[in-house]
Chains A and B, each alone.
Chain A
């Protein structure tokens, strides 16, 4: 009996068969290896969560978390009744939508196009070039954008020759100028690097399928539409869910370096608002913490919602 049991493959997720003790005995090396990781996550990700207390305090730098006065939901009342926060929320939603709708597609198209290139040398060179912007520091990228779109920048000069008025485009508060600049800057930065996952997914598609379709007379476009895209759909779905979830947290890193009071109406987002409240000329840590907590809760809701939505479209696309 014991012999046959040992020979049977054990499903580690089968709770009826494997107790925690047995699992520990069998995999304790793995658990030992995981301990430092768990400690790291607890220390750097969970313990700081205690800081959310600040969102419910009239926080004073001198008094700290334990000495500051508890004010309940006052910071949230101030947050939701102030027009700056609502404007930031609106802009975050719009910029997230722009990034998801306009920013998601070029990566797919780029990966599909590159997967059709047969000359390996050319393919690798193009890939390498497209990865580079991802390794350029955001502060350098934003400075380049400032130079190119400034009053005398080369892109401004190009747009002026096309009949648009000469101006510092980053100071233009008319929608959707800033939103487009932000979206295209993001595309330029992440196009190559973001396509790595898709490229590997495409590379994993069984070559026989493509060969058979080609023999049957399918055109290149038909092969992409009928084979490639369905095959990478789970990856696309998962990537989309992740993008939705993190969009409310990531929109703003570049904006912080690009925006100015003149463009608050279109550029100020939750990230920049939170940062400004914490590190502006008159810091209000309580309000900043409230804004940040709201951002986190919203991100979590979006992650769960996006995951459910992705699962409904394609069950393999669910992240959890």
Chain B
């Protein structure tokens, strides 16, 4: 009996195991099967592709990117010529990486060879040349020539732009880059913002004016010590209003005031202007009884490797930047400029102006600034996006946001800290928008499919018609045809209309999409795929002047030192890319992230510890990266 029971038990166990194995096989089947069966060759499968995007949309709008209005429109109403010359529709499915895990996701896809047919490489830190050598991605050159007339036309019109990658002795088109037809200040996603209404409410006219780059001596201010005045001129519906104290139902973009900074300008230009303003913000916080707020929300962990603000102290950035004058790459983490920046931050820390927890916000989003405090109206100065400008942070349930008016500010010019080399120099290295960027690759998974139709589909978004759809969404005719549920849900009959202004054809967004709050505009258009951006200029209507002014401040100077604007990175050999990643990790992540906050907080002394800090940085091998970049620069310039 015992023996029978034992055998029964064994049989059950084996049956259970087989069942489990069977289950897991079934579970895995879709992925595996998809990869293999797609190559099988039925005409429909040959026109079915997958595309990895950088980012999707909130589930508030739709669950899958296939349900994006533009993608639905293209899938239903656009046909493309396939390899046999027949017009066919394309079935494109999209993959979206988990937010915050984009790098892990793409690394996993590549290491397990389970990547899709088309893949955005924005987050990939490795080398395209290496992927090509491994046979994972295709050389797109022949396909661009044959099937992508719009993309090819742009390349021919912009011969100075290098979109190729060196593989051995050849330069190959391994990726399709996203192109901007017009680079406008609107392409800047963020900049410095400050509470302009606090200056009016809590500040007074400065005693004197002095512009250190123009004046030889201070000028008397005839209105010294007087209160500033400021008011809103429009209500939320765009109607003119008279009351200066009205704080409800106002359009923050209509704010006007008579604020003048100590440099004599209506916008803050110098570090001394910023410090004057910070003094007012200190008073504003005290007068309002805000104990958990502060003057300046710094990005984590006290510096931005793109160079924002750091560059104000003689130029450059704390990582690798391009010295346009000498046409060479330089490392800026151990320069006197960066030291002056840190001395300024240390002075601000000692005055209690900085967010006390600036170095601890490792988990917060977006440069890890304290977005919660900013949007609660408890911060005077921060780096933020357009969505924090004007009265956009105003929220009825948050008392300190009542009547908030946020203005944009340019990177300042240092006139206080460091020596002559660090003073009165125009900032030259900070985030900037290039006329092309990013890139998608086509992988070997697609090579047995109908590549003609795939490349024609990709090229469509570089055409005038496709670019309009991709950038601005559906017009009235297209929406009438499609009856897209997302548009219907939000009552949008057309995402935009075309208007004539100053002799130019411009795009005017539907009122709901004027500001891209909650990415609503992005959800209505198809801009997550790569193509031609900004084919037309945008008319922002009554907020135009205000937004233009704020963004104008953000783009007041040219970021000539910002490396990402140049094609040098594409020219780096595979080994160098890997080596650069290592050095970046050792220099920035492992060392500067730890040490820099100590200088700002005064835990490290500039006299005693700066030399040791510089020596430690030297040991981490940044020079190798600088040399590699310079080699690429020389090669590029030579071309």
Residues of A whose CB lies within 8 Å of any CB of B are 29, 32-33, 36, 58, 60-64, 67, 82, 84, 151-152, 168, 170-171, 260-262, 264-265, 276-277, 279-284
Contact = CB atoms under 8 A, between A and B. Distances in A.
Contacts of B590: 84, 264
B585 interface: yes
Nearest to B292: A152
Given A61-B107, A61-B126, A282 B589 contact: yes
Which interface residue of B6, B9, B136, B585 has the most chain A CB atoms within 10 A? B585
Given A36-B14, A62-B127, 13 more contacts: A29-B7, A32-B10, A36-B17, A62-B136, A260-B360, A260-B362, A261-B359, A262-B301, A262-B594, A264-B594, A280-B585, A283-B103, A283-B107
Interface residues of B, number: 38
21 contacts: A29-B6, A29-B7, A33-B6, A33-B9, A36-B17, A62-B111, A62-B126, A62-B130, A64-B111, A168-B360, A170-B360, A261-B362, A262-B597, A264-B590, A264-B594, A279-B103, A281-B125, A281-B585, A282-B581, A283-B581, A284-B582
Contacts of B110: 61-62
B111 A61 contact: yes
A64 B359 CA distance: 37
Contacts of A282: 125, 581-582, 584-585, 589
Interface in B6-28: 6-7, 9-10, 13-14, 17
Interface in B101-145: 103-104, 107, 110-111, 125-127, 130-131, 134, 136
B10 A67 contact: no
Which interface residue of A61, A64, A82, A264 has the most chain B CB atoms within 10 A? A61
Interface in B444-458: none
B356 interface: yes
A166 to B, nearest CB: 10
A58 to B, nearest CB: 7
Interface of B: 3, 6-7, 9-10, 13-14, 17, 103-104, 107, 110-111, 125-127, 130-131, 134, 136, 292, 301, 356-357, 359-360, 362, 578, 581-582, 584-586, 589-590, 593-594, 597
Contact of A60 (B130, B356, B582, B586): B130
Given A29-B3, A282-B585, A60 B357 contact: no
A264 B595 CA distance: 10
Contacts of B597: 261-262
Nearest to A167: B356
Nearest to B586: A82
Contact of A58 (B9, B17, B362, B578): B578
Contacts of B360: 168, 170-171, 260, 262
A32 B127 CA distance: 50
Closest 6 CB pairs of A and B: A282-B585, A261-B593, A282-B581, A260-B362, A61-B111, A29-B6
A48 to B, nearest CB: 14
Contacts of A281: 103, 125, 584-585, 589
Given A171-B357, A282-B581, A60 B589 contact: no
Nearest to A29: B6
A66 to B, nearest CB: 11
Contacts of A36: 13-14, 17
Given A62-B134, A282-B585, A33 B10 contact: yes
B13 A33 contact: yes
Which interface residue of A36, A260, A279 has the most chain B CB atoms within 10 A? A260
Contacts of A84: 590
A271 B483 CA distance: 53
A59 to B, nearest CB: 10
A60 B126 CA distance: 8
Contacts of A284: 581-582, 585
Contacts of B301: 261-262
Nearest to A259: B362
A281 B594 CA distance: 16
Contacts of B359: 171, 260-262
Nearest to B135: A62
A280 B578 contact: no
Contacts of A276: 589
Contacts of B136: 62
Contacts of B17: 36
A238 B107 CA distance: 41
A260 B593 CA distance: 9
Contacts of A63: 130, 134
Contacts of B130: 60, 62-63
A171 B107 CA distance: 31
B356 A151 contact: yes
B536 to A, nearest CB: 36
B459 to A, nearest CB: 27
Contacts of B594: 261-262, 264-265
A61 B593 CA distance: 26
Contacts of B6: 29, 33
Contact of B357 (A32, A151, A277): A151
Nearest to B10: A32
Contacts of B292: 152
Contacts of B582: 282, 284
B573 to A, nearest CB: 13
A70 to B, nearest CB: 15
B584 A67 contact: no
B286 to A, nearest CB: 19
A104 B590 CA distance: 33
Nearest to A84: B590
A301 to B, nearest CB: 27
B306 to A, nearest CB: 14
Contacts of B104: 279
B621 to A, nearest CB: 11
Contacts of B3: 29
Nearest to A81: B619
A306 B551 CA distance: 65
A84 B587 CA distance: 12
Contacts of B584: 281-282
A60 B362 contact: no
B327 to A, nearest CB: 27
B589 A280 contact: yes
A63 B132 CA distance: 10
Nearest to B582: A284
A276 B6 CA distance: 48
A218 B594 CA distance: 58
Contact of B125 (A168, A170, A262, A283): A283
B131 A62 contact: yes
B364 to A, nearest CB: 11
Which interface residue of A32, A60, A82, A279 has the most chain B CB atoms within 10 A? A60
A265 B10 CA distance: 54
A62 B130 CA distance: 7
Contacts of A152: 292
Contacts of B134: 62-63, 67
A275 to B, nearest CB: 11
A171 B355 CA distance: 14
B363 to A, nearest CB: 8
B124 to A, nearest CB: 9
B503 to A, nearest CB: 47
Nearest to A151: B357
A301 B17 CA distance: 35
Nearest to B107: A61
A171 B356 CA distance: 11
B589 to A, nearest CB: 6
Which interface residue of A33, A168, A170, A282 has the most chain B CB atoms within 10 A? A282
